[in-house]
Amino acid sequence: MPENKECCIALLDIIEFTSRYNHDEAKMILRQLRKIIDNAGKFLFPHGSFSDAFPHHDTGDGYYIILNTVSAIASLQFMVNLSDNLDRYNSAEGRDLPLQLRCILAYGSVEKIEDHIYAPVMADAERLISNNKNKQYQDNRNEIARFMD
């Protein structure tokens, strides 16, 4: 990744992660989320690995993904695919551990400082996630937010 770049960033927050799941369930849910994410990004890399192209940065109760080599439209399609894949996962018969997410697609500056990623827009995205508990849409010049449950 270049030292400083404007790009889309997807922030995925698992709702009630620490209060809802025990340790083994949490590990299983994170594995399932990785599969859902990889399937959502398959259209970008039909013969490669989405996870290898866009590493998932762990937040403890979700991930953020820096979509630094695709357009904003492709990033938005990734989020739509993610929503569809999540709906399919949760509607599967016999699903006793539903996976609920709050998701934001933000656009802003991302800077790599040594081994760390710094993205000021992520603070705004995290604020939107913590302040909005219901399904809703946010839209302005800097960010598109879609909350899914």
pLDDT at 138 over 60: no
CA distance 103 to 56: 14
* pLDDT-derived band at 125, boundaries 50, 70, 90: low
pLDDT score for 53 = 85
| H-state helical runs in 3-135 | 17-20, 23-40, 50-53, 72-91, 120-131
CA distance 9 to 26: 24
pLDDT score for 96 = 67
Which of 13-17, 118-122, 132-136, 143-147 is the least confident region? 143-147
pLDDT at 47 over 90: no
* pLDDT-derived band at 142, boundaries 50, 70, 90: very low
Nearest Cα residue to 130 out of 81, 62, 65: 62
* pLDDT-derived band at 79, boundaries 50, 70, 90: very high
pLDDT at 83 over 70: yes
pLDDT at 9 over 70: yes
pLDDT score for 59 = 80
pLDDT at 42 over 90: yes
CA distance 76 to 7: 12
* pLDDT-derived band at 143, boundaries 50, 70, 90: very low
Handedness of CA 93, 97, 102, 107 (dihedral sign): negative
